[in-house]
Chain A
Amino acid sequence: MAVTKSNIPDRLAQTLVLDTSATGTPEQDIFVGVTLADKIYQVLIDNSAVGAATYVRMQYATTYTKAGAATDPSPDDIRLYAPANKTVTYIFPEGLVFTTGLSVLATSDTADVDGTAYTDPGDTVIVKILGGT
């Protein structure tokens, strides 16, 4: 018997978060602090069902805090854009590092919304976030 031995490389990213209907209500702490991931390697936004742009907003925090007064806003660490009726993929080969946690929402709002809820996308938006440690 011919035996071949190979080393399987370490996994670069091992946690996939899938939101099949992303909305303006934040999904908090999707990687359980940094237990499941402390880097973002890939984000896919399937906006093919929506006739308007969708923005996926993320904060490096276990709780997404909406923008408050102009003097005390809580802006995004990351905001990614998907044009109307398009699916786009963002890949970050070295990973975007966060140290506390990650919280995310999807909205049609370009501007920060002052204290109130973000507008839901016009139809079903699928968001996939691949993280790793």
Chain B
Amino acid sequence: MSTLLKIANVDEAGLTHKIINDVRLADAASPTAIVDVTQESGSLYYLTVDASACSGNPQWLNLYLVSSEVTIGTTNPDVHIKIPASARFHMSCPTGLPFTSFSASLLTTDQNAGTGNDEAAANRYAILNAVTS
């Protein structure tokens, strides 16, 4: 898991939404996933990936929403979306996308069995932002 993952989770203050930020979603040539980020079930409402610094390869965002047991290359992602090189990606789920557990990874392969990220290997990192309940 990226050591740069930050979460604003302040349910006790009456703020019902969580904000997730990771400035290095993939942080190594063989990245791990950010796993069970919210530590509870919820719904995803908004997500962005800023891959504008990732100029060499398209990447695939993988979301794992039904289990907190995630192993890249083994666990099949529930949501899998191609992010072009040098691009910013925005996705909204206005009615909410329910999840049991929220985990994510970013790879430069579209294969379920893939494990690598050539952009992170070249020190080019993508930024994840998301809003969940």
Contacts and interface: CB of A to CB of B under 8 A. Distances in A.
Given A76-B110, A86-B98, A81 B90 contact: no
A78 B81 CA distance: 4
Interface size class of A (residues with CB under 8 A): 20 to 34
Nearest to A98: B82
A53 interface: yes
A126 interface: no
Determine chain A's interface SS by DSSP, over half rule.
strand
A122 interface: no
A81 B97 contact: yes
B89 to A, nearest CB: 8
A80 B79 contact: yes
Instruction: Please list the 8 inter-chain residue pairs (A to B) with the smallest Cβ-Cβ separation, ordered nearest first.
Output: A81-B78, A79-B80, A91-B92, A75-B110, A110-B76, A77-B82, A111-B76, A83-B98
Interface of B: 63, 65-66, 76-82, 84, 88-98, 110-113
